[in-house]
Structure 1
Amino acid sequence: MATTLTALRRQISSAGDLKAVVRTMKASAASAIGQYEQSVTALADYARTVEFGLGVCLRAVDPLGLQRQEPTTDATAVVHAIVFGSDQGLVGRFNEAVVEHALAALSQPSANTKTTVKIWAVGERVEARLADAGIALEGSFAVPGSVELITQLVGQILLNIQLPDSAAKIATQHATLMLFFNRPSALGYSPESQRLLPLDAAWQRALVSQPWPAKQLPEVLGSNATTLQAFVREHLFVSLFRASAESLASENASRLAAMQRADRNIGERLQTLQAQFHQLRQAGIDEELFDVISGFDALSAGD
């Protein structure tokens, strides 16, 4: 009896400690979600400024939009795919979902049978999922642990994927760049894909046609191509930063949901253990009382 009660006490203590850890992780995930969502919101104004600059440069380079057509098929096309995942676990199907989405999109038949796909992973967990799927990765990056480290990650990506060195190549499939990441949604998160390069022709025309917010119209000083290249790289930076921040927000949302389920399960387990403990303890007390009463009755009968 004593051994069973001791075992129950140990289980209740362990469950209580685990519940405290889970609550700490819940608070940490909830706090992280807020900072990453705030970074995406703060980036919106800068992204809009970059789009205005791109529109001005595109208008200066090609006022009529005659050259902003969809890219033609290139027999030596290379597609760079960046898949954002996590370094840590306890995120449910977070990594599986984005890997399945990426593989489904990249496996679609292309008009160019000689297209080479180079996949880069952000996060050890998503890297392992891609390896399990038989994908030979071009490289991998560590998941940033804070908003400040996202800039470093973006710099590493742009340095390693070897983008074209001139603005004249932004409309060719030599510069195809795809992003795959989880985006926060009403259900927690959903896998998304985004093509950064070549620049979408309809999107370029929309940038050129959008009205300037001030009466004084801008003009490009110096080389139009050089300025355009700078704005394209800023657009890539903004897009990669936003994708990473949204992926991190989704990761923490998934972890928060997992911790909430764990907290609920641990609470139910604690209630069950405590009920068993009280029931067993009461049974022990009842047994001891019966022994006392039986002994008293025996002594009384002997007298």
Structure 2
Amino acid sequence: MDTLESLADALETTGDIQSIVRTMKALSSVSIRQYEHAEAAMADYARTVELGLMAVLRQQGSAGLLLPGADSAAGREALIVIGSDRGLCGGYNDKVTRAALSRMGDQPMVLGVIGTRVAARLEADGRRVDTVHTLPGSVEGLSRLVQSVILGIDRWTRLEGVRQVWLVHNRREGRSTAKPQTHRLLPLPDGYLQKLAKVDWPGRSLPLFRMDPDRLMSWLVQQRLFVMLYRALAEASASEHASRLAAMQAAERNIEERRDDLRQLYRQRRQESITRELLDVVSGFEAVSSAD
């Protein structure tokens, strides 16, 4: 049977947990907005890179340019999976893990993971993880992480014969806090290049460039890779915090219900204790009166 002291301790503990949950909710709400702003801020630079690709493709009169050494018909494939390092975010990591396993199928792939929790899930499924990156704690660390990932991709293409690089991550979409997305990072899809080559230039004249077209194309593709990875990381981080916010809201409701039950039980036990004390006083008074 619960005593008044144990119930008071339980009420204090649930109050502390509720404070922690509210703090995590506030942090997640602020983080969601920051990562959404970071993703939106990259849109202008993405448009600039796209205009550069349009200019080179139209100047060369070709829509089939790829990265030097890249060939979509042969070679190994690599997969980059973005998850989380921290928990308390519902089924966020499970969803992206299932999407990654579905993309991999039975074929061996070079596997790069961002987020230790997803790496652990993939290894538990028997998949060999080649590289693991941890997520930064704020928006300021995204650029450094993207540069590290790009260096890893360059090493894969030069030393390990990788010709296709895929990306899987979660994204907020409508009421869904985490919806898996799959993109091919390299080589650029032929349909995308053909579309850029046929789109009308927004200005009255095409820009001129003196740089070697192949080198310029390679640099622009690398910048597009930076943009895609940066935006994917920002979207995934916003999705992670949205999932954590939803989980904390559910936890707060459960804690509030638990506190209500504890309060009711505490009042009941306190009333029973007061009743027993009153009965003891009355019984003692009657015993003394009878003795007199």
- CA-to-partner distance for each residue in 1:46-103, whole Å, 9 max, x for gaps? 1111111111112223x154778xx6632xx111110001111111221111111011
**Which residue number in structure 1 is paired with residue 18 of structure 2?**
19
Specify the code of the residue in structure 1 equivalent to 2:91: R
Alpha-carbon offset, residue 211 of structure 1: 2.1
Q: Distance in 2 between matches of 1:129 and 1:179?
A: 17
Among residues 139, 149, 152, which one is paired with 1:157 in the alignment? 149
1:182-212, CA deviations, whole angstroms, 9 ceiling, x for partnerless residues? 0112221101110011111111111112222
Quick one: distance in 1 between partners of 2:193 and 2:82? 26
Deviation of 1:213 after TM superposition, in Å, equals 2.0
- Whether contact under 8 Å (1:60, 1:220) holds in the other structure is no
Pick from 247, 253, 256: which aligns with 2:236?
247
Q: Give a deviation string over 1:119-141, Cα, whole Å, max 9, x none.
A: 01111111101110101111111
In the alignment, what sits opposite 1:41? 40
Matches within 5 A, 1:1-303: 4-61=3-60, 63=61, 65=63, 73-74=73-74, 77-107=75-105, 116-161=108-153, 162=155, 164=157, 174-185=162-173, 186-303=175-292
Distance 2:195 2:28 in 1: 38
Q: Secondary structure at the match of 1:148?
A: helix
Does the residue aligned with 1:83 lie in a helix, a strand or coil?
A: strand
Alpha-carbon deviation of 1:253? 0.8
Aligned CA distance change for structure 1 residues 72 and 293 (closer, same or farther; 3 Å): closer
Please say if residues 78 and 162 of structure 2, whose CA atoms lie closer than 8 Å, have aligned partners that are also in contact: no
Distance 1:275-1:66 versus aligned 2 partners, 3 A rule? closer
Question: Percent identity, aligned pairs only?
Answer: 39
Aligned residues: 285
Change (3 A) 1:36 1:226: same
Query: Is the Cα contact below 8 Å between 1:32 and 1:252 reproduced in 2?
Result: yes
- In structure 1, what is the Cα distance between the partners aligned to 2:280 and 2:108? 83
What is the CA distance between 1:301 and its match in structure 2?
A: 4.0
Question: What SS is found at the alignment partner of 2:169?
Answer: strand
Equivalent residues of 2:78, 2:165 under 8 A apart: yes
Displacement of 1:27: 0.5
Aligned mates of 2:194, 2:9 — CA distance in 1: 68
Q: Does the Cα contact within 8 Å between 2:95 and 2:178 map onto a contact in 1?
A: no
Unmatched segments (≥5 aa) in structure 2: none
Q: Once superposed, what is the RMSD of the aligned Cα atoms?
A: 2.1
**Cα deviation 1:140-174 (Å, max 9, x = unaligned):** 11112111111111111111122657xxxxxxx94
2:82 partner amino acid: F
Contact map agreement 2:72 2:163 (CA 8 A) in 1: no
**TM-score in terms of structure 1 length:** 0.88
Q: Indicate the larger mover: 280-289 or 52-61.
A: 52-61
Distance 1:201 1:8 in 2: 67
